[in-house]
Copies of this chain bind each other. A is one copy, B any other.
Protein backbone atom coordinates (compact mmCIF):
# COMPACT_ATOMS: atom_id res chain seq x y z
CA UNK A 1 0.00 0.00 0.00
CA UNK A 2 1.13 3.54 -0.73
CA UNK A 3 -0.18 6.57 1.11
CA UNK A 4 -0.21 10.19 -0.01
CA UNK A 5 -1.22 13.13 2.15
CA UNK A 6 -3.27 15.97 0.69
CA UNK A 7 -1.94 18.89 2.70
CA UNK A 8 -4.70 21.40 3.49
CA UNK A 9 -3.96 22.36 7.10
CA UNK A 10 -6.75 21.16 9.36
CA UNK A 11 -8.58 19.78 6.30
CA UNK A 12 -5.64 17.50 5.34
CA UNK A 13 -6.37 13.84 4.62
CA UNK A 14 -4.67 10.62 3.51
CA UNK A 15 -5.10 8.89 0.15
CA UNK A 16 -4.41 5.16 0.46
CA UNK A 17 -3.67 3.23 -2.75
CA UNK A 18 -3.19 -0.53 -3.02
CA UNK A 19 -4.66 -3.98 -3.48
CA UNK A 20 -7.17 -5.44 -1.04
CA UNK A 21 -7.73 -2.22 0.90
CA UNK A 22 -11.49 -2.85 1.10
CA UNK A 23 -10.62 -5.63 3.54
CA UNK A 24 -8.69 -3.28 5.88
CA UNK A 25 -11.14 -1.58 8.22
CA UNK A 26 -8.30 -0.04 10.24
CA UNK A 27 -7.80 2.35 7.31
CA UNK A 28 -11.37 3.63 7.52
CA UNK A 29 -12.58 3.52 11.12
CA UNK A 30 -10.16 6.15 12.49
CA UNK A 31 -11.83 8.63 10.13
CA UNK A 32 -15.37 8.01 11.37
CA UNK A 33 -15.95 10.35 14.31
CA UNK A 34 -19.52 9.49 15.32
CA UNK A 35 -21.41 6.26 15.81
CA UNK A 36 -23.24 6.06 12.48
CA UNK A 37 -22.52 5.90 8.75
CA UNK A 38 -24.54 5.85 5.54
CA UNK A 39 -23.13 4.21 2.42
CA UNK A 40 -24.17 5.77 -0.90
CA UNK A 41 -23.58 3.62 -3.97
CA UNK A 42 -25.34 2.63 -7.20
CA UNK A 43 -27.07 -0.37 -8.74
CA UNK A 44 -23.92 -1.46 -10.61
CA UNK A 45 -21.43 -1.22 -7.76
CA UNK A 46 -23.67 -2.48 -4.91
CA UNK A 47 -23.68 -6.17 -5.98
CA UNK A 48 -19.86 -6.06 -6.29
CA UNK A 49 -18.53 -4.13 -3.29
CA UNK A 50 -21.33 -3.17 -0.91
CA UNK A 51 -20.93 -6.22 1.30
CA UNK A 52 -17.20 -5.63 1.79
CA UNK A 53 -17.89 -1.96 2.51
CA UNK A 54 -20.51 -2.82 5.10
CA UNK A 55 -18.00 -5.13 6.79
CA UNK A 56 -15.71 -2.10 7.18
CA UNK A 57 -18.47 -0.53 9.30
CA UNK A 58 -18.98 -3.36 11.77
CA UNK A 59 -19.95 -1.97 15.16
CA UNK A 60 -21.44 1.23 13.75
CA UNK A 61 -25.09 1.93 13.07
CA UNK A 62 -25.23 2.01 9.27
CA UNK A 63 -27.57 1.96 6.30
CA UNK A 64 -27.33 2.22 2.52
CA UNK A 65 -28.74 4.33 -0.31
CA UNK A 66 -28.56 2.73 -3.76
CA UNK A 67 -28.84 5.24 -6.62
CA UNK A 68 -29.51 4.52 -10.29
CA UNK A 69 -26.24 4.34 -12.26
CA UNK A 70 -25.17 7.05 -14.68
CA UNK A 71 -24.33 10.72 -15.22
CA UNK A 72 -27.97 11.29 -16.24
CA UNK A 73 -28.95 10.81 -12.58
CA UNK A 74 -26.49 13.35 -11.20
CA UNK A 75 -29.18 15.92 -10.51
CA UNK A 76 -31.09 17.67 -7.72
CA UNK A 77 -33.92 15.11 -7.71
CA UNK A 78 -31.64 12.15 -7.04
CA UNK A 79 -29.68 14.24 -4.53
CA UNK A 80 -32.95 14.80 -2.72
CA UNK A 81 -33.38 11.00 -2.45
CA UNK A 82 -30.16 10.99 -0.42
CA UNK A 83 -31.43 13.77 1.87
CA UNK A 84 -34.71 11.91 2.37
CA UNK A 85 -32.87 8.73 3.33
CA UNK A 86 -30.65 10.66 5.74
CA UNK A 87 -33.64 12.26 7.44
CA UNK A 88 -35.65 9.04 7.55
CA UNK A 89 -32.71 7.18 9.07
CA UNK A 90 -32.17 10.04 11.56
CA UNK A 91 -28.67 10.86 10.34
CA UNK A 92 -27.22 13.72 12.38
CA UNK A 93 -24.23 16.05 12.24
CA UNK A 94 -21.90 13.28 13.41
CA UNK A 95 -22.99 10.79 10.75
CA UNK A 96 -20.33 9.96 8.13
CA UNK A 97 -21.29 9.33 4.50
CA UNK A 98 -19.34 6.75 2.49
CA UNK A 99 -19.21 7.29 -1.28
CA UNK A 100 -18.76 3.87 -2.91
CA UNK A 101 -18.62 4.11 -6.69
CA UNK A 102 -17.44 6.21 -9.59
CA UNK A 103 -17.34 9.95 -10.11
CA UNK A 104 -21.10 10.45 -10.11
CA UNK A 105 -21.56 8.69 -6.77
CA UNK A 106 -18.55 10.51 -5.33
CA UNK A 107 -19.64 13.97 -6.48
CA UNK A 108 -23.23 13.52 -5.30
CA UNK A 109 -22.34 11.93 -1.97
CA UNK A 110 -19.75 14.62 -1.35
CA UNK A 111 -22.30 17.31 -2.12
CA UNK A 112 -24.92 15.65 0.09
CA UNK A 113 -22.27 15.66 2.86
CA UNK A 114 -21.44 19.32 2.17
CA UNK A 115 -25.07 20.41 2.43
CA UNK A 116 -26.85 18.04 4.84
CA UNK A 117 -27.31 20.00 8.08
CA UNK A 118 -24.77 22.49 6.61
CA UNK A 119 -21.98 19.92 6.40
CA UNK A 120 -21.10 16.45 7.69
CA UNK A 121 -18.08 14.17 7.16
CA UNK A 122 -17.61 11.79 4.25
CA UNK A 123 -15.13 9.21 2.94
CA UNK A 124 -14.39 8.43 -0.69
CA UNK A 125 -14.06 4.82 -1.85
CA UNK A 126 -13.71 5.23 -5.64
CA UNK A 127 -14.27 2.12 -7.77
CA UNK A 128 -13.55 3.52 -11.25
CA UNK A 129 -10.18 4.65 -12.57
CA UNK A 130 -11.57 8.09 -13.31
CA UNK A 131 -12.76 8.56 -9.74
CA UNK A 132 -9.47 7.20 -8.36
CA UNK A 133 -7.22 9.57 -10.30
CA UNK A 134 -9.43 12.64 -10.36
CA UNK A 135 -12.85 13.18 -8.84
CA UNK A 136 -12.38 11.48 -5.45
CA UNK A 137 -9.41 13.71 -4.59
CA UNK A 138 -9.64 17.46 -4.01
CA UNK A 139 -13.09 18.13 -2.60
CA UNK A 140 -15.02 19.26 -5.66
CA UNK A 141 -18.57 18.04 -5.18
CA UNK A 142 -21.83 18.82 -6.94
CA UNK A 143 -24.62 17.93 -9.31
CA UNK A 144 -25.56 18.92 -12.85
CA UNK A 145 -28.29 21.32 -13.94
CA UNK A 146 -30.01 20.73 -17.30
CA UNK A 147 -28.29 23.93 -18.48
CA UNK A 148 -24.76 23.03 -17.39
CA UNK A 149 -22.56 20.40 -15.82
CA UNK A 150 -21.52 20.67 -12.13
CA UNK A 151 -23.22 24.06 -11.88
CA UNK A 152 -24.50 23.36 -8.35
CA UNK A 153 -21.96 22.29 -5.77
CA UNK A 154 -19.46 22.99 -3.03
CA UNK A 155 -15.84 22.54 -2.08
CA UNK A 156 -15.97 19.91 0.67
CA UNK A 157 -12.98 17.73 1.46
CA UNK A 158 -13.36 14.06 2.47
CA UNK A 159 -11.84 12.61 5.65
CA UNK A 160 -9.90 10.05 3.63
CA UNK A 161 -9.75 8.41 0.19
CA UNK A 162 -9.46 4.63 -0.02
CA UNK A 163 -8.36 3.36 -3.44
CA UNK A 164 -8.54 -0.42 -3.73
CA UNK A 165 -7.02 -1.18 -7.14
CA UNK A 166 -8.67 -4.62 -7.08
CA UNK A 167 -11.97 -2.94 -7.85
CA UNK A 168 -10.64 -2.08 -11.32
CA UNK A 169 -10.90 -5.76 -12.24
CA UNK A 170 -14.65 -5.45 -12.66
CA UNK A 171 -14.52 -2.16 -14.58
CA UNK A 172 -15.78 -2.13 -18.19
CA UNK A 173 -13.08 -1.53 -20.83
CA UNK A 174 -14.78 1.66 -21.93
CA UNK A 175 -14.73 3.02 -18.35
CA UNK A 176 -11.07 2.07 -17.98
CA UNK A 177 -10.20 4.05 -21.10
CA UNK A 178 -12.26 7.01 -19.88
CA UNK A 179 -10.17 7.01 -16.71
CA UNK A 180 -6.94 6.92 -18.69
CA UNK A 181 -7.99 10.20 -20.33
CA UNK A 182 -7.63 11.96 -16.96
CA UNK A 183 -4.29 10.21 -16.36
CA UNK A 184 -2.98 11.46 -19.73
CA UNK A 185 -4.22 14.90 -18.70
CA UNK A 186 -1.64 15.15 -15.90
CA UNK A 187 1.08 14.40 -18.43
CA UNK A 188 -0.20 17.03 -20.83
CA UNK A 189 -0.51 19.80 -18.26
CA UNK A 190 2.62 19.33 -16.14
CA UNK A 191 4.67 16.18 -16.66
CA UNK A 192 6.27 15.36 -20.03
CA UNK A 193 8.19 12.41 -18.51
CA UNK A 194 4.93 10.85 -17.31
CA UNK A 195 3.51 11.31 -20.82
CA UNK A 196 6.43 9.28 -22.14
CA UNK A 197 5.91 6.63 -19.47
CA UNK A 198 2.25 6.39 -20.49
CA UNK A 199 3.18 6.01 -24.15
CA UNK A 200 5.54 3.16 -23.22
CA UNK A 201 3.13 1.47 -20.79
CA UNK A 202 -0.28 2.00 -22.41
CA UNK A 203 -0.72 -1.67 -23.30
CA UNK A 204 0.05 -2.72 -19.71
CA UNK A 205 -2.58 -0.27 -18.44
CA UNK A 206 -5.19 -1.56 -20.87
CA UNK A 207 -4.32 -5.14 -19.83
CA UNK A 208 -4.85 -4.02 -16.19
CA UNK A 209 -1.35 -4.84 -15.05
CA UNK A 210 -1.63 -4.07 -11.31
CA UNK A 211 1.85 -2.61 -11.03
CA UNK A 212 1.34 -0.25 -13.98
CA UNK A 213 -2.11 0.79 -12.76
CA UNK A 214 -0.85 1.48 -9.24
CA UNK A 215 1.98 3.63 -10.57
CA UNK A 216 -0.36 5.58 -12.87
CA UNK A 217 -2.85 6.15 -10.05
CA UNK A 218 -0.17 7.14 -7.54
CA UNK A 219 1.49 9.57 -9.92
CA UNK A 220 -1.90 11.09 -10.88
CA UNK A 221 -2.97 11.52 -7.26
CA UNK A 222 0.41 13.06 -6.48
CA UNK A 223 -0.14 15.67 -9.19
CA UNK A 224 -3.70 16.31 -8.09
CA UNK A 225 -2.72 16.63 -4.41
CA UNK A 226 0.07 19.07 -5.27
CA UNK A 227 -2.16 21.30 -7.37
CA UNK A 228 -5.08 21.25 -4.91
CA UNK A 229 -2.84 21.94 -1.90
CA UNK A 230 -1.58 25.07 -3.65
CA UNK A 231 -5.02 26.34 -4.74
CA UNK A 232 -7.88 24.57 -2.97
CA UNK A 233 -10.71 26.78 -4.21
CA UNK A 234 -9.48 27.25 -7.77
CA UNK A 235 -8.60 30.91 -7.68
CA UNK A 236 -5.71 30.21 -10.05
CA UNK A 237 -3.59 27.22 -10.99
CA UNK A 238 -6.12 24.54 -10.04
CA UNK A 239 -8.00 25.47 -13.20
CA UNK A 240 -5.19 23.73 -15.15
CA UNK A 241 -6.76 20.43 -14.08
CA UNK A 242 -9.63 21.35 -16.37
CA UNK A 243 -7.62 20.93 -19.58
CA UNK A 244 -10.13 19.81 -22.21
CA UNK A 245 -13.05 20.11 -19.80
CA UNK A 246 -14.73 23.23 -21.21
CA UNK A 247 -14.96 21.60 -24.64
CA UNK A 248 -15.75 18.26 -23.00
CA UNK A 249 -18.57 19.59 -20.81
CA UNK A 250 -20.17 21.10 -23.93
CA UNK A 251 -20.05 17.68 -25.62
CA UNK A 252 -21.51 15.91 -22.58
CA UNK A 253 -24.33 18.44 -22.21
CA UNK A 254 -25.15 18.63 -25.93
CA UNK A 255 -25.15 14.86 -26.40
CA UNK A 256 -27.16 14.24 -23.22
CA UNK A 257 -25.37 13.35 -20.01
CA UNK A 258 -24.08 9.79 -20.02
CA UNK A 259 -24.00 9.18 -23.75
CA UNK A 260 -20.41 10.30 -23.94
CA UNK A 261 -18.52 9.27 -20.83
CA UNK A 262 -16.87 12.19 -19.05
CA UNK A 263 -13.37 10.86 -19.83
CA UNK A 264 -14.26 10.39 -23.50
CA UNK A 265 -15.50 13.97 -23.76
CA UNK A 266 -12.39 15.23 -21.96
CA UNK A 267 -10.14 13.27 -24.34
CA UNK A 268 -11.75 14.95 -27.34
CA UNK A 269 -11.72 18.26 -25.50
CA UNK A 270 -7.97 17.97 -24.86
CA UNK A 271 -7.39 17.41 -28.58
CA UNK A 272 -9.47 20.53 -29.32
CA UNK A 273 -7.41 22.48 -26.75
CA UNK A 274 -4.26 21.22 -28.50
CA UNK A 275 -5.68 22.29 -31.87
CA UNK A 276 -6.43 25.79 -30.57
CA UNK A 277 -2.95 25.92 -29.02
CA UNK A 278 -1.56 25.07 -32.46
CA UNK A 279 -3.69 27.80 -34.04
CA UNK A 280 -2.13 30.19 -31.52
CA UNK A 281 1.33 29.10 -32.68
CA UNK A 282 2.23 27.45 -29.35
CA UNK A 283 2.11 23.78 -30.35
CA UNK A 284 3.62 22.21 -33.46
CA UNK A 285 1.49 20.01 -35.70
CA UNK A 286 3.51 17.06 -34.38
CA UNK A 287 2.50 17.83 -30.80
CA UNK A 288 -1.17 17.83 -31.74
CA UNK A 289 -0.67 14.56 -33.59
CA UNK A 290 1.07 13.11 -30.52
CA UNK A 291 -1.82 14.20 -28.28
CA UNK A 292 -4.27 12.44 -30.62
CA UNK A 293 -1.99 9.42 -30.83
CA UNK A 294 -1.63 8.78 -27.11
CA UNK A 295 -5.38 9.16 -26.52
CA UNK A 296 -6.19 6.90 -29.47
CA UNK A 297 -3.83 4.30 -28.03
CA UNK A 298 -6.15 4.31 -24.99
CA UNK A 299 -9.12 3.71 -27.35
CA UNK A 300 -10.51 7.18 -26.70
CA UNK A 301 -12.43 9.36 -29.17
CA UNK A 302 -10.45 12.35 -30.46
CA UNK A 303 -12.97 14.08 -32.74
CA UNK A 304 -16.11 15.94 -31.62
CA UNK A 305 -19.50 14.47 -32.53
CA UNK A 306 -20.29 15.35 -36.15
CA UNK A 307 -23.79 16.52 -35.25
CA UNK A 308 -22.45 19.31 -32.98
CA UNK A 309 -22.11 22.68 -34.66
CA UNK A 310 -19.82 25.52 -33.63
CA UNK A 311 -22.91 27.30 -32.28
CA UNK A 312 -23.73 24.29 -30.08
CA UNK A 313 -20.27 24.49 -28.58
CA UNK A 314 -20.46 28.26 -28.08
CA UNK A 315 -23.83 28.04 -26.35
CA UNK A 316 -22.74 25.43 -23.81
CA UNK A 317 -19.30 26.94 -23.30
CA UNK A 318 -20.76 30.34 -22.44
CA UNK A 319 -21.98 29.03 -19.06
CA UNK A 320 -18.69 27.34 -18.17
CA UNK A 321 -17.49 27.99 -14.61
CA UNK A 322 -14.29 29.48 -16.00
CA UNK A 323 -16.21 32.38 -17.53
CA UNK A 324 -15.40 35.50 -15.47
CA UNK A 325 -17.29 38.76 -16.02
CA UNK A 326 -18.43 37.41 -19.37
CA UNK A 327 -14.92 36.45 -20.52
CA UNK A 328 -14.22 32.78 -21.26
CA UNK A 329 -10.91 31.45 -19.98
CA UNK A 330 -9.49 28.25 -21.42
CA UNK A 331 -6.70 25.87 -20.52
CA UNK A 332 -4.30 25.77 -23.45
CA UNK A 333 -0.91 24.15 -24.01
CA UNK A 334 2.31 26.14 -24.35
CA UNK A 335 4.10 22.86 -25.09
CA UNK A 336 3.54 19.17 -24.42
CA UNK A 337 3.61 18.93 -20.63
CA UNK A 338 3.05 22.63 -19.94
CA UNK A 339 -0.38 24.26 -19.88
CA UNK A 340 -1.72 27.69 -18.96
CA UNK A 341 -5.05 29.26 -17.97
CA UNK A 342 -5.74 32.12 -20.35
CA UNK A 343 -8.42 34.43 -21.70
CA UNK A 344 -5.85 35.65 -24.18
CA UNK A 345 -6.64 33.53 -27.23
CA UNK A 346 -7.82 34.54 -30.68
CA UNK A 347 -11.65 34.20 -30.81
CA UNK A 348 -11.42 33.61 -34.57
CA UNK A 349 -9.05 30.71 -33.97
CA UNK A 350 -11.45 29.27 -31.39
CA UNK A 351 -14.27 29.59 -33.91
CA UNK A 352 -12.23 27.69 -36.51
CA UNK A 353 -11.63 24.87 -34.04
CA UNK A 354 -15.31 24.73 -33.02
CA UNK A 355 -16.48 24.82 -36.63
CA UNK A 356 -13.89 22.15 -37.57
CA UNK A 357 -12.39 24.52 -40.13
CA UNK A 358 -8.79 23.60 -39.33
* Interface positions of A (Cβ within 8 A of B): 34-36, 76, 80, 83-84, 87-88, 90, 92-94, 114-119, 140, 142, 145, 147-148, 150-155, 233, 318-319, 321, 323-326
Contact = CB atoms under 8 A, between A and B. Distances in A.
20 contacts: A34-B324, A34-B325, A76-B76, A84-B147, A87-B148, A87-B319, A90-B318, A90-B319, A90-B323, A90-B326, A92-B326, A93-B324, A94-B325, A114-B154, A115-B115, A115-B152, A116-B151, A116-B152, A118-B154, A119-B155
Q: Give chain A's interface secondary structure class.
A: mixed
Contacts of A80: 76, 145
Contacts of A93: 321, 323-324
A65 to B, nearest CB: 15
A239 to B, nearest CB: 11
A117 B147 CA distance: 12
A83 B324 contact: no
A151 B117 contact: yes
Given A140-B118, A145-B83, A35 B325 contact: yes
A146 to B, nearest CB: 8
Contacts of A116: 151-152
